[in-house]
Amino acid sequence: ELKVEQNPLFLSMQEGKNYTIYCNYSTTSDRLYWYRQDPGKSLESLFVLLSNGAVKQEGRLMASLDTKARLSTLHITAAVHDLSATYFCAVDMEETSGSRLTFGEGTQLTVNP
Amino acid sequence: EAGVAQSPRYKIIEKRQSVAFWCNPISGHATLYWYQQILGQGPKLLIQFQNNGVVDDSQLPKDRFSAERLKGVDSTLKIQPAKLEDSAVYLCASSLALASSEQFFGPGTRLTVL
């Protein structure tokens, strides 16, 4: 059974600081997603990482994937309050039956002024 | 392009009652998913459809949960009878194809079972 673990689960940081969220998974996969979820809202797709060494950046967020280490990171640069949300990684175990996402527990990020 | 639509957005019922949720996926998306998201956790897949056929329902508690997608477009998820532990947000997602295709999520239905 695939296990996806995120850490930290809770992160409180000051505006302007940098930090990294880690996502470890237990089975080989070449496809990983990062989602953002605001309180009471649905999931918003941030990044799709499709191969080993993939790196994608959007604004103050940068995601990377190391399939050999079974690790993805979401790096936050110079955090701002608007980034406060819960961030989920999800690993796609493509099977003959199709795409199947297994989510981590989520990292609740709070950026303080 | 319209996103995934779900209704109702909120539902409060008492235990042992029945409830149904509705989902309309993005136009043209063949694959539809239902997830359960308990407070403080990541979403967990309940059932996956490809057109009007079930692809994966291995994590659906079939003694009380059922789902259908009769015409291969919109879908309903039913719980009968509900238990306290069914309190969660039920998310519907759709994707263009069965494999290698990004999933797009609806706003969810928040169910509270008293």
Express each pLDDT in B45-92 by its tens digit: 999 999 889 998 999 999 999 999 988 899 999 999 999 999 999 999
| E strands in A15-84 | 19-25, 32-37, 43-49, 55-58, 61-66, 71-76
Question: Token digits for B58?
Answer: 């291995």
List pLDDT tens digits, range A37-93: 998 888 999 999 988 888 999 999 999 999 999 999 999 999 999 999 999 999 987
Residues of B in contact with A35 (CB under 8 A): 105
Inter-chain residue contact A99 with B100, CB threshold 8 Å: yes
**One-letter amino acid of A12:** S
Report whether A50 contacts A30 (CB < 8 A): yes
Q: Give me the sheet containing B65-68, strands edge to edge.
A: B5-7, B19-24, B75-79, B65-68
* A100 CA: distance to closest CA in chain B (Å): 8
Residue of A nearest to B101 (CA): A99
Using a CB–CB cutoff of 8 Å, tell me whether A104 touches chain B.
yes
Q: Which two tokens stand for residue A82?
A: 């608007």
**Contact residues, chain B, for A42 at CB < 8 Å:** 91, 105-108
Cis peptide leading into residue B8 (ω within 30°): yes
> What residues form DSSP beta bridges with A107?
A87
Nearest to B99 among A90, A98, A104 (CB): A98
